[in-house]
Every structure is written in structure tokens, then in C-alpha cells.
């Protein structure tokens, strides 16, 4: 995924944004939940917008800035899964902003089910269904999604904008989640002129 990291950093530089790659835990939480904490901390540090991209996601359209995702008063922008799956919100790529974004991240963090996870010497372990309500995406979809959409705090965009595993027109980011990682070598070859990393 090294080439994706380089491309994401180049996208940030092209738009005058700061790029932060977190490869060490700054808080003792399962890696899935750390993204929520980190977005909250970035906003609390005074940044206008925090956009999260998993390590299997890449900024594809360098002509579009992150700020263009926000069209109204929403504090968060996200997208559903690509049609292969059925989650109404995919936490692999999303953007949050402002004090409202901090408040929403706090509520999301408050859903962390500590009793469902066991801390070992080297990792956090959960025996629940991957992506279910004990994980950050499942918890958001089960407990916050409906309210956030109805209140206008969360604006949903078409999955093709943030979650497509193919370079389709209009895609700001591509997300090579799960079995779609197999698309990555062809993407690197066609877009970056590189072979697999």
C-alpha cells in the first residue's frame, strides 16, 4: 500500500492540506476505533476538516478538493458501501468538520464496547462478527446513522464518489476494500505507471 500513501500525500500537497499517516497507536484502542479518536483530535487541534482514508483507499481525482464534499451545514460527509456489500455508511473514507464534527466523533467514541474486546500484550481481540456493532462502522450504522442523516449532521454522497473500487468518473477517492484489493495492481499500472508494491 506504499504507493497509495505516496499518492495521498501528493494529493494533500497539491491542495495545500496537511497529510498525516498514523502508523503507531496514540491511544490504547483497537485500530478500528482509533480512526474516530484521531479525527476528533485533528479537529480539536484546530484543523477545519479532517478526512479519513483507510490504508486501502487512495485519492484519485486531484482536480477536486476535500472541501467540495460539504454542500451545506452538515458536519460529516460519507458514503454507503459499494453495491457488493450493504452497509449504509462505510467508515473507510469519510470527512468531518468543526465543533459539530468533534461532538459527533465524541458520540461515536462513546459507543466503543470495551467489554466486547480483550486487550492482549500485542493486540486488541474481538470475537464478534467483523464489521458488526462492536466495530466502529457497525456501531455507527446501528446507533448514529439514522439520527445523523435525519438531523442533517451527516450528508451521504453516492458510493462512487468515495467508495468505488474502480476509477469511475466522479470518484474523488477509490477504496480497495476486501476482495477489491485485487484491483490495485491494475490501478497502479494504469494510473501511476507502476507495478504492484
pTM of the prediction? 0.94
Length of the chain: 197
pLDDT for res 197: 45
Strand partners, 94: 52
Pairing of strands 76-78, 154-156: parallel
Residue 90 CA, distance from chain mean position = 7
Query: Phi/psi at 97 (nearest 5 deg)?
Result: -150, 155
Domain residue extents for the chain: 2-192
- Residue 86 pLDDT: 94
Report the chain (197 residues): mean pLDDT per 10 consecutive residues: 88 94 87 96 96 96 96 97 96 98 98 96 93 97 98 98 95 96 90 57
Residue 95, SS3 per DSSP: strand
Return the CATH class of domain 2-192. Answer: alpha beta
pLDDT at position 24 is 80
Spatial separation of the C-alpha atoms in residues 188 and 134, rounded to whole Å? 34
Amino acid at each position: 500500500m506504499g504507493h497509495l500513501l505516496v499518492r495521498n500525500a501528493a494529493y494533500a500537497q497539491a491542495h495545500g492540506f496537511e497529510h498525516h499517516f498514523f502508523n503507531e497507536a496514540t491511544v490504547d484502542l483497537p485500530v478500528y476505533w482509533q480512526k474516530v479518536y484521531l479525527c476528533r483530535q485533528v479537529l480539536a487541534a484546530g484543523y477545519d476538516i479532517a478526512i479519513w482514508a483507510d490504508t486501502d483507499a487512495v485519492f484519485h481525482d486531484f482536480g477536486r478538493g476535500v472541501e467540495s464534499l460539504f454542500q451545506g451545514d452538515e458536519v460529516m460527509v460519507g458514503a454507503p458501501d459499494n453495491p457488493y456489500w450493504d452497509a449504509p455508511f462505510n467508515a473507510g473514507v469519510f470527512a468531518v468538520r468543526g465543533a459539530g464534527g468533534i461532538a459527533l466523533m465524541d458520540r461515536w467514541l462513546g459507543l466503543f464496547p470495551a467489554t466486547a474486546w480483550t486487550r492482549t500484550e500485542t493486540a486488541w481481540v474481538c470475537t464478534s462478527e467483523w464489521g458488526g456493532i462492536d466495530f466502529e462502522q457497525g456501531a455507527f450504522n446501528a446507533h448514529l446513522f439514522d439520527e445523523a442523516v435525519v438531523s442533517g449532521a451527516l450528508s451521504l454522497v453516492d458510493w462512487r464518489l468515495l467508495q468505488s473500487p474502480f476509477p469511475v468518473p466522479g470518484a474523488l477517492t477509490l477504496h480497495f476494500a476486501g476482495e477489491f484489493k485485487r484491483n490495485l495492481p491494475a490501478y497502479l499500472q494504469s494510473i501511476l505507471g507502476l507495478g504492484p508494491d
